[in-house]
Structures are given as structure tokens and as C-alpha cells.
Structure 1
Amino acid sequence: MADIPLIDRHRAVLPAWLSLYYDEPIEITHAGGRRVTDSTGTTYLDFFAGILTNAIGYDIAEISDAIRRQLDTGVLHTSTLYLIRSQVELAEKIARLSRIPDAKVFFGNSGTEANEAALLLATQFRRSNQVLSIRNSYHGRAFGTNSVTGNRGWAASSLSPLKVSYVHGGYRYRGPFRHLSDADYIRACAEDLREVLVTATAGDVACMIAEPIQGVGGFNVPPDGLYRAFKDILDETGILLISDEVQTGWGRTGTHFWGMDAHDVVPDMMTFAKGLGNGMAIGGVVGRADVMDCLTANSISTFGGNPLVTTAANAALDYLLDHDLQSNADKLGERLLTALRTLAETTPTIGDVRGRGLMIAIEFITPTGAPDPHAAATVMEKTKRNGLLVGKGGLYGNVIRLVPPMTVTAEEVDEALAALTQAIL
């Protein structure tokens, strides 16, 4: 087996839909700071961070040492049937940071599992299987989360345990309201929500689930205040708002700790994952106590919130707060965004540069303005050759996504800009 290339072994035993980046996929074997090294010894500056998951960076002493101390106890897993000190401590921190009154927290293992739990809670609390979602959204690969994903490229099945209605507001660049001012855009989307409620639902809707900035959909940033307008309408009949903060949480947007804060909204529930564990598998829901306590059947989480991952997450969250990485995301995100927008002014293949904090996207277009996925794929290959790893996304696969660890330096941002510029021009 050792003589067979790893890519061939991968294709033989893993499903075909488990996609890989690059014409020649890489195996990352070592990492430190914001750089990773593959099995050939090539080192890259990482501006995708394991899909935003290595939010603090690689081999951060404070986090690695905390994990080693927990390993030394011999206790890697106990299940939620026993008290777990690090789980309780982490839940206390998240409840406080959420600003949700009397908040409670449930831990799972991923963003998909977090959103599944939130949908279960909302539909049980409201005694309804009707859910509102946003067009071009992505919320996970499981049965329930797949059904509320408003992007055909990521929706594997039309079967659903939920009755889902989609509203406008997510993808402004190609949406029907793109030419409107911010105020008029918000007004048009709010009117669309009201129309969907009276035409496509039976009225007793359980919840709306929304990403403050769409992640897989291409880092689409709605005008500040859109979800405030939505929340006011939802509150008229008690419909819950679930903010999917899997990609936008923990200060990554720079201006706010949670993505929904930009809209002056405290949601009824928030889901989280990715950056909290800095590479360790963790996800969860924080929400109103009455909603979180609404289940009457017994339940546990075998692996969710186990001692090892919550120890790592506590260390990662403490590091993030102690080093004010939110401010770093704000400052260096603005540096990156400004430079890319300047580049776009003289580059006709770039249709849009958007984002907030260290969550930035470049959308590529053809001369006619159509989506150009080939251009995005070409830039990905070229940036790899230039020693830079980036992500890809968007409804049409024509968006490059830039999400480095939040510890990234100004020098590394400039290095990434040079590699990107060379790849684009």
C-alpha cells in the first residue's frame, strides 16, 4: 500500500462526493503559526485555516499545552452523563458572551450538529415544522440542515423533515434588489419576508435560520440592519431567530464579536463551531433557557463537550479574548479589503470584493458579467504555486475566500496580497 499514491488510496475508499482542492491535492503534515507544510516539504501561508477552523493558528503554546495537560490526566472522554468541569466553564463563558438573557448551552461536535440541534429545539418549542431560510445559504450536510440550505450545489436531497420557505437578502451582488440603496434593499427584503409568510406558510412558523454573512455562499454581506428588520417581523408572531454563527462568531468579522451584532439583534438562539476549538471538533447552541429546556424526551451527547475538546476550546477562547484578536481581525481585514478593492478597480475579471474583518471574498466574472468559476479555479492553482492557500465558494463556484487565522500579521497580509495579485493579473 505504501507504493500506491495517497490520492489513489483516497479515491478507492472514500466517497466520490468528498471533494479535494487542487489538480494535485496536498497532504499537510506539519504546521506552525499561520504556515503549513505538505508531505513534499513545501510550506504555504494558510489563508483558509481549515475552513476557518484553525482560527488562532497552528501550534499555539497556550492551547497545545492545555491539551497536553488534559491528556496527562488520562481522561479524554466521559460523556455528558457525568459532570465535566471544563464543559461547565466553557458554557458559562459562552452564555455570558452571547448576551442572551438566562442563556443555556448545548455542545455537539460540528456546525452541522449544532444547527440540527437548534432546528429540533425550535420546532419542538413552537410545535411546528415550518422554517424560514435565506436563499443561497448553507447550514450543514445532515438531513435537517441540508433541507434548509438554499444552494442547490450543496443540497444533496429534496427530501426534508421540514417545510422550508426561502426569503431574499443573502446574495446581494446578483440578487433582484442589488441596485437599491441599503435602506431600500432592507425594505424590499422585509416586504418579501411578509409576502412569504402570507403566501408560502400556514402562519405558525417555528423559526428563521440565517447566517449573518453567508459562508459557503461566498461571504455575502447584507446591509447592517437587515436582520433587525426581519426580527421585528418575526417577533410579531413569536417566530424564533436562529443565528448561524459557525463562520462569523468569535470576533472574526472584526467590528463585532458575533455577526448578528452588526444588525443590533440578540437572537433567540445562536449556533457555533469551527474556530472555537482551533482545530478540535466542537459545535453547539446557546439560547434562551425556555427554548433550550423545551425537550421532554431524554437526551445526551456522547462526544459533545468532552473533557479534551472543551479544555482546548477554553484555552482557545481565553487566548482570543486576552490577545484581542477581534481588533486584529478588524484592522488587518480592512488592510486586506482596501488593497483588494483597489486591485479590482483596474481588473475587469473581478466583479466584486466584499467581506468584513478577516472574512473576505473576491468574485470573478466574465467580460459579460457572468460568473466565471474557471477564473476562480485558476487563481486557486496559481496562489498555491505562489505559496498561498485560499478557499473557494459561492453559488457558482466563482468566489475566492480569504480567512486566515486571526493571529495573522500585517507582513503576512502583505505577503498574501502579493501572491494573490500575481495570481490574478
Structure 2
Amino acid sequence: MTHDLLGRHRAVLPDWLALYYEDPLEITHGEGRHVWDAAGNRYLDFFGGILTTMTAHALPEVTKAVAEQAGRLLHSSTLYLNRPMVELAERIAKVSGIPDARVFFTTSGTEANDTALLLATAYRRGDTVLAMRNSYHGRSFATVGITGNRGWSPTSLSPLQTLYVHGGVRTRGPYAHLADREFIAACVGDLTDLLGHTRPPAALIAEPVQGVGGFTSPPDGLYAAFREVLRERGILWISDEVQTGWGRTGDHFWGWQAHGRSGPPDLVTFAKGIGNGMSIGGVIARAEIMNCLDAGSISTFGGTQITMAAGLANLGYLLEHDLQGNARRVGGLLIERLRAVAARVPHVREVRGRGLMIGVELTRPGTDEADPRAASAVLEEARAGGLLIGKGGGHDTSALRIAPPLTLTVAEAEEGAAILERALSSL
């Protein structure tokens, strides 16, 4: 049955639509932190549909909210007052940290980042954008144009002029040998020098932890130091929280808060986990920025009632059960467990991350050369052992990405780590 479905997939869908595994997997249902495939095999899910199943599969509170809303009204567009959209916007504005915040809902992280770029360039009346090397911001024409990761940027054409900045990857590049304070100073010096050779850009867009890039991040405080340079020139800061938001990093509710001594960003984008599988994205911005557009607009599907009902139930569950605290506690245990495993595996260059957002970078033993074949082999072995994980990275896809639902238990963390240990030892 799966092979038949694979043939049908290939017959009607694009060749560039990536599938994991030599024998691709059809997931039929899930519960909690587990999913099942079409053959009835059960897996511990450590990737959550690319960090999207944030709380749990088939979370009763979310499924009930969706079913009740579906029985009333699925959709009306933003042309009509929408109570669930207003209620979710109120809650998000309150937890955003942005003063006088306004929220605009989209259907994806790509669309959220696209909207943030529209707002920033309109507000600043310029088409130059700063982005980080090794970054990923989506698959639309504009977001591909600012993505600093060659493997996910299929065209050099772009409606924007993009300048790429150092700092998103702590352990690679020309400043990797420096201590944290000197690393930050060097990156700030590079940014300052770059800005001396161009007209002031509209904005810097940056992921606090680079998702597709392999869960890499700078030392805490880098973006606060960047902000001081940007603010002097009126340049906006967009924090791409599509993967880092809602407490996943454990230490903070938003990724930008690790760099927060200079205050919140001008704009924050979000998506993925807030809907727990429903298609929700959005932008949070100060009112003067959000309201800067001089033409009317609507969103047909952004903020539609059924997705807003899911978002409200999901965010409420996350806050009431302190899932940020659980990500910090269980994620800390999982990172230490994986670091102990890595010390015995020559292929592992680094275990990094925070909370339940963990990267394991694989290289050829004794070198810094990325080893994407090793990453693919571990992915297959982990699946055979009953564990689903992701992969990513910069120049090559050689980092394992581990991002379970935030309700992960200590026992499940230990189970997943044991499976991953066997998979890594098989290299």
C-alpha cells in the first residue's frame, strides 16, 4: 500500500518535494508523543512534523476545540468580526513583550516572514535587508531571497537586496576560535563595517536559534549587541520565532529573550507550534509599524475560526501546564544524556541546543568535514529502532534535529536517547 502511494506521489507532486527515508513513511495517526505508520508500527516522535506538534498528538483540549468550532463555523475571512481571532490576538499581544502590539495572522511561517519584510521595507522605505549566514526563512520568492542556506535557496533572484552577517553559527567560521565576548565583539565589528559601505537597510531578520541550519545559535547577547548598532541607524529588528517561540528553548518563552537586554524586537514572526498542527502563522509588531501600510488588505485564510480555536486551546494548555518549564527540565536531561553518548561516538562533532531544541552535528571522524551520509544512516537506524528525528545543517545536511512535543516525559526522553545511542553506535 505504501509503495503504491509513493508511486502516486511521484506521479503528481514535484520532484523537489523532499521525503525522508529510503522507504518513505506514511503516518496514519498519533497520540501523545507517539505516531503509527500504515503498517501499524509505533514510533516515538522526536520531530513533531517539523516542530509543529508542540504539545501532543491528538491533545484532547485541542481536538475538542476544533470539533466544536467546526460544528459552528469553519471560516468567514477577515472581512467580518471574528471573536476567536480577536481573543488569540489579545493573548499573543500580552505575552509578546512588545509595547502597543498588533497581531496579523497568516497561514504559515513563510507568509509571516514575507509579511514582516513587507512591513519593514514599507516602514523604512528601502529594499535592503540584513540576514544571517546559514539562515532559513521560508519558501516564498522573498523569503528564499533572504535565506542564507544554499541547500534551501533554489534561485539567486530576489525582490530584495540582501546582505549577510556573521554570528548565527558559534562553532564554525572565522570567529569560531574566539571566546564568547570576543566573538560578539568581532561580529559587531563586522556588522558595523558592513553598514559603513551601504545605505542603511530596512531591517535585520534573524532566528535566535537557526532551525533548518541545524539548531545553531550565537552566544547569548549577540542580538542585543547588534540591536544597539541597528538602533543608532533606525534599522528594525525582526526576530523569526517560527521554530523558537512558545517556550521550546526552555530558558525563555521567546528565543529573543536570550538577547533581550536592549528590549524586545520591533517585529516577531511566529507559526508552527502555536496551532499544534493547524495552519497558523503571524506577525507581532508595534502599532506604528503594523499600521504603516497605505493600502487596504485582508487575509482570506489567515485567522480563520477553526485554526484560531485550535491556537487558543493549545496556547492555554501550554501556559496552564508550564510546558516551558518542562522543556527546560526534560530538555536539559536529554542534552546531557546525548552529550554522554556523543563522547563515545567519533562521528559526533557537537551536541548543542537548549530546551527541547537539540542538534547533533556529525562529521567525518577526526575532521570538521560534514558527513551527510552519516546523518542519513542514523536517521534510518533511528526509525528502525522506533524513533523519528529530523536533519538539517548549513553547507551539508549533517546535523540531526531533535524537537519532541513539549509534554515529553523523562521516561520518553530516556527511551529516545537509548534508541539514538544505538543508531549512532551503528556508524
- Under TM normalisation by the shorter chain, which class is it? over 0.9
Correspondences of 1:357-396 after superposition (within 5 Å): 357-367=355-365, 368-395=367-394, 396=396
Quick one: which amino acid aligns to residue 346 of structure 1?
R
Supply the distance in 2 between the matched residues of 1:346 and 1:382 (Cα, whole angstroms).
18
Q: Aligned with 2:71: secondary structure?
A: helix
Pick from 209, 216, 221: which aligns with 2:217? 221
> 1:5 offset after TM fit, Å?
0.7
CA-atom RMSD, angstroms? 1.0
Correspondences of 1:24-173 after superposition (within 5 Å): 24-73=23-72, 75-173=73-171
Supply the distance in 2 between the matched residues of 1:191 and 1:332 (Cα, whole angstroms).
37
Identity of matched residues, %: 56
Partner of 1:405: 405
Pick from 173, 191, 194: which aligns with 1:193? 191
- Give per-residue Cα distances to partners, 1:366-394, cap 9 Å, x unaligned: 02221111111100000000000000000
- Give per-residue Cα distances to partners, 1:53-95, cap 9 Å, x unaligned: 000111111111111110111x101000000000000000111
Verify: 1:230 aligned to 2:239, yes or no.
Answer: no
Quick one: which amino acid aligns to residue 279 of structure 1?
G
- Give per-residue Cα distances to partners, 1:7-49, cap 9 Å, x unaligned: 1110110000000000001110011000000001001000000
TM-score, normalising length: structure 2:
0.97
Partner of 1:241: 237
Quick one: which amino acid aligns to residue 205 of structure 2?
I
> 1:224 offset after TM fit, Å?
0.5
Q: Aligned with 1:76: secondary structure?
A: coil
Supply the distance in 2 between the matched residues of 1:185 and 1:381 (Cα, whole angstroms).
36
Supply the distance in 2 between the matched residues of 1:3 and 1:54 (Cα, whole angstroms).
23
Supply the distance in 1 between the matched residues of 2:422 and 2:20 (Cα, whole angstroms).
20
Supply the distance in 1 between the matched residues of 2:3 and 2:171 (Cα, whole angstroms).
45
Which 5+ residue runs of structure 1 have no aligned equivalent?
A: none
Quick one: which amino acid aligns to residue 79 of structure 2?
L
> 1:222 offset after TM fit, Å?
1.0
Counterparts in 2 of 1:3 and 1:343: CA distance versus 1, 3 Å: closer
Counterparts in 2 of 1:222 and 1:309: CA distance versus 1, 3 Å: same
Report if the CA contact (8 A) 2:61-2:317 is conserved: yes
Q: Runs of 4+ in structure 1 displaced over 3 angstroms? A: none
Report if the CA contact (8 A) 2:75-2:304 is conserved: yes
Q: Aligned with 2:210: secondary structure?
A: coil
Partner of 2:423: 423
Partner of 2:208: 212
Partner of 2:248: 252
Partner of 2:301: 303
Supply the distance in 2 between the matched residues of 1:175 and 1:211 (Cα, whole angstroms).
18
Quick one: which amino acid aligns to residue 103 of structure 2?
V
> 1:4 offset after TM fit, Å?
6.8
Supply the distance in 2 between the matched residues of 1:124 and 1:383 (Cα, whole angstroms).
47
Verify: 1:177 aligned to 2:175, yes or no.
Answer: yes
> 1:198 offset after TM fit, Å?
1.4
Q: Tell me which moved more, 17-26 or 190-199.
A: 190-199
Partner of 1:316: 314
Q: Aligned with 2:196: secondary structure?
A: helix
Pick from 284, 287, 290: which aligns with 2:288? 290
